[in-house]
Amino acid sequence: MKRYNFRLQKLLDIRVGKEEQCKMAFQKTQREKVEAEFKLHDLKDSYKRHNVIENESSTVERKMRQQYLSNLTISIKTATLDLEKKQNKVEIAREELKKSQVDRKTVEILKDKGFKNYLKEEEAREQRANDEFALYGFIRNLKGGEISDR
């Protein structure tokens, strides 16, 4: 019995490799997005902590606090834009991953169908061989029976 040989195996291997690359890229962009979310969260927490108005503070301290809050606001806006960009990158990476999975599965379906056809052909070939052996045995028994009857 010969072994099943899938002619598109190299293509399947390439598609599996591409899918793995897309998975790694997706995971990387997902990590970057999570880091950007943490950074934004930290900036907002810092803003909330320092946005408390204290009456005992001097004018210089209030001006410094105001400047710091102003800089935090700018940083929060920048971090928000960065997070939106990273979310877009995650969506793009997710779409690429889906596409690569579909491409791989398409070739795998072809491989599975080819293997099923191969098994059917092998079963049919084996059945023909068994039928021939049975027919030869039957003919041999017929001829053997005729000779002993005479």
The answer to whether residue 146 sits within a structural domain is: no
How far is 111 from 106, CA to CA, in rounded Å? 9
Domain housing 93 = 9-111
Instruction: Please write the tens of the pLDDT for every residue from 36-86.
Output: 999 999 999 999 988 887 777 788 888 888 999 999 999 999 999 999 999
pLDDT surpassing 80 at residue 28? yes
**pTM, entire model:** 0.74
**Interatomic CA distance for residues 53 and 62, integer angstroms:** 8
Domain presence at residue 2:
no
Check residue 4 and report its DSSP letter: P
Which DSSP state fits 56?
A: T
Residues 6+ apart with CB under 8 A from 22: 93, 96, 97, 100
Whether residue 122 lies inside any domain: the answer is: no
Task: Give me the CATH number covering residue 13.
Answer: 1.10.287.1700
Under 8 Å between Cβ of 115 and 6 = yes
Residue 136 lies in a domain: no
Domain assignment present for 20: yes
